[in-house]
Structure 1
Amino acid sequence: MKQLALLPLLFLAFSLQMNAQTKKEKDQNAIKDMCGCYEIKFKYAETFSPDIAYEKAYDYRAHALEWAELVTDKDNKIGIQHLLVVNDTMVIKHWRQDWEFENKSLFTYKAKNTWDVKHVTEDEVKGQWSQKVYQVDDSPRYSSSATWVHVDGKRFWENKTDAPLPRREYSKRDDYNILVRGNRVQLKDYGWLHEQDNDKVIRTKGEEDELLVQEKGYNIYTKVADEKCKVAKAWWKKNNKVWVKVRKEWDKVFAENTEVKLKEKVDGKKLYEYLFALKNNATSKDIRTIINKFLN
C-alpha cells in the first residue's frame, strides 16, 4: 500500500523533471536557430535626451551579409561565431556569442577598456542562460544573464548590461563612455531580431551616471540560403584552428584575474592586428605572449 501511495509523488517528480528538460531543450534550440546565413539590416535612432539643447545624432543605417557558425555545442554551453562576407569574396572574422546555462561567472564592463570578473550565486542564475559577447579578437565586450521565455508562440531573451561604445561610434564620439544596453533577442519567422533600448551614459568615478541620450536599435537578421555564405564556411574551415587556441587562452585570462584591463595599442597596433596575422600553427604560447602585452 505504501508503494502505491508513492506512485503519484514519483509521477509528479518525473513530470517536473521532463518539463524542465523540455524547457532547456527549447532554450538550446532557440539559441542554435541563430546559426546560418543572414542578410542583416542595422537601424539606430536617438530618441530622448534630458538636455533640451542636445542635438541628436543622425540615424544610422547599414547592411551586411553574415555567416553564423556553431563552434561549441555542449549541454550547458553553445558558442556561435559570426563571420562577415564582403562583396561575396572576402571574409572578416566578426563578433562571437557564447551562451552558458546557469553560469556563475560573468564579466561586467566598468569603463576605460576595463572589465570586472563577477561571480554570482547559484540561486541568482537558476534556469537562466548567460550571453557573453566577444570582439573580433575574442577579447570581452559585455555579458549578462536572463531566462529564455517561450510563450504564445514567442521565443525571446532580454537583459540590461553595461558595455563599451559600439564600433559604429567608438572612433567618432567622446561625449559619453558607457552604453547601457537593453538587449532583446527574439526568434522570428524570417530569422531573428536583436532589438535594443540603449542609454548613452557619462560615467565619472565617485559620481552618479549622467544620461546623455537614449537610443532605439534594430539588428534584423533575415535568413537566406546557406549557399550565399559558402565563402565564409570555407574560410572558417581553413582558419578555425588558431581561434580555438585563442578562445582557450582568453578563458585562462578570465580564470586567473578578477579584473581585465586592456591597452588600446601596443607598438602602434591593435590586438586584432596581431591575432589576425597568426597562422593555424601558432602555438598557445605565441597567442598568450601577444595577449599579455595588452594586459595592464
Structure 2
Amino acid sequence: MKKIIIAILLISTTVAYGQKQKKEDIAAIKAMCGCYDIRFNFAETFAPDKDYEFHENYTSGALEYVFPISEDKDKIVLQHLLVIGDTMIIKHWRQDWLYENTDFYSFDKENTWEYKSKNPAQVKGQWTQKVYQVDDSPRYEGSATWVHVDGKHYWESEADAPLPRREFSKRKDYNVMKRINRQEITDYGWVHEQDNDKIIRTEDEDVLLAQEKGWNTYTKTDDSKCEVAKKWWAKNQAYWADVRLVWDELFAQNKTVAINMKVDDKIMFQRLFALEKEMIGAQPYDSGASKTKIKAVIQMHLKSDQMLTSLK
C-alpha cells in the first residue's frame, strides 16, 4: 500500500509540474506579441577555407506588429506584419507553436521539404516552432523544450532552412542554412539569436562554406504605432485564413512538398499578394471563389506530385 501511495504522489507531482511548465511556456510564447522596433544584425564569423571572402555584415531595421491569430491549448499562431511609414503594410513571416507535435516538414534542398514523423516520446514536453514565409509556404521547423530558470525564459532548436530572404536572390555559393535558433524573452521585448552554418548540400554530403552570427532584437514600443497594421489585418484576414486552409490541405497529405518559387517570371508570393487585392477589393468577400483561385496559384508552383482536392 505504501508503494502505491508513493507512486500516486509521484504521478501527481509530475502532472502538476508539467501543467505549471506548460503555462510558463504559453506565457513566454505570447510574450512575443506586441508592437516592436526591430533590428536585424548578421555577421559571418568563420570559414574553413582560408581563401574564402567574407561577405559584408548585414544590418536592417523596421517596425513590426506581432499578434496571435488563433490559439488553443496545444497551438498558438503568431503573425508578423511590417509597418512601412504611416500607411503601408507588408505581410511578413508567421510562426506556429505546436505542443508535443509529431508531424514535421524538414527542409532538404532546392525548395523541397520532406515529411517526417517523430515518436511521441521524442517530443514529450516540447514545442515545435513552424516558420512560414510571407505567402504561408513552408520555411523551417524545429522542436525543443522551453527553459525557465534563474529568471530567464528561452527556447533553442536546430533546423535546416532555405537561404534567408536577404541572400537567396544574391548568392548561389550555398544551398542550405543550418540554423540554431534561440528565442529569449527579455525585459525590453525579446531577442532572436542565431548561429548559422551555410552549407553546400549534395546527394552525398554536406560541406560547410561559412558560419554566421545573427542577433535580432525586438524592442517594445507604443502600440499606437501599429494601429494601422491592426486595421489592415481586420480588412485582409479572411483572405489569409483561406490561404492557410489551402496550405493545410496540402500538408495533411504527409508527403514531400517541392515548390517552384518562380514560374513564368513571377514568384509565388507575387501572385498571392496580387490575388489578395483582387479578392478583398471585390466586396463582399467570396471565400469559395477565393480558395479556388488560391489553389490554382499554389498548384501552378508545385513541382511535387501532390494535387489539391478541387483540382484533381
**TM-score calculated relative to the size of structure 2:** 0.90
Aligned amino acid, residue 229 of structure 2: A
The CA distance in 1 between the partners of 2:219 and 2:3, in whole Å, is 54
Which residue of 2 is the match for residue 29 of structure 1?
Answer: 27
SS of the counterpart of 1:67? strand
Instruction: Specify the SS of the correspondent of 2:86.
Output: coil
Q: Given residue 233 of structure 1, which amino acid in structure 2 is its aligned partner?
A: K
Q: Does 1:236 align with 2:243?
A: no
Structure 1 residues without counterparts, runs of 5 or longer: none
Letter in 1 for 2:225: K
Give the aligned partner of residue 204 of structure 1: 202
Give 1:218's aligned residue: 215
| 1:181-229 deviation digits (Å, cap 9, x = unpaired) | 11111100100000000001111112x2111110000110001111111
TM-score (norm 1): 0.95
1:45 positional shift: 0.5
Offset, 1:88:
2.5
> CA offset at residue 274 of structure 1?
1.6
Q: 1:1-296 to 2 correspondence within 5 Å?
A: 9-206=7-204, 208-277=205-274, 278=276, 279-280=279-280, 281=285, 282-296=289-303
SS at match of 1:50: coil
User: Quick one: which amino acid aligns to residue 221 of structure 2?
Assistant: V
SS at the partner of 1:111?
A: coil
Tell me the CA shift for residue 14 of structure 1. 2.8
**Which amino acid is the alignment partner of residue 118 of structure 2?**
V
The AA in structure 2 aligned to 1:274 is R
Q: Secondary structure at the match of 2:264?
A: coil
CA distance in 1, matches of 2:67, 2:161: 24
SS at match of 1:127: coil
Q: What is the SS of the residue equivalent to 1:123?
A: helix
Give the whole-Å Cα distance in 2 for the aligned partners of 1:190 and 1:54: 37
| 1:169 aligned counterpart, secondary structure | coil
Q: Secondary structure at the residue paired with 1:162?
A: strand
> Structure 1 residues 22 and 257 mapped into 2: Cα distance closer, same or farther (>3 Å)?
closer
Shift of 1:53: 0.7
Please provide the CA RMSD for this pair. 1.5
2: CA distance, partners of 1:291 / 1:5 = 59
Task: Report how far residue 139 of structure 1 moved.
Answer: 0.2
In structure 2, give the amino acid aligned to 1:195: E
Which amino acid in structure 2 is aligned with residue 255 of structure 1?
A
Q: d(CA) in 1 for partners of 2:178 and 2:17?
A: 35
Secondary structure of the residue aligned to 1:88 is coil
Uncovered stretches (5+) of structure 2, i.e. residues with no partner: 304-312
Mapped to 2, the partners of 1:177 and 1:94 lie a distance apart of 22
| Shift, 1:9, TM fit | 4.9
Q: 1 CA distance for matches of 2:73 and 2:254? A: 26
Supply the AA of the counterpart residue of 2:210.
V
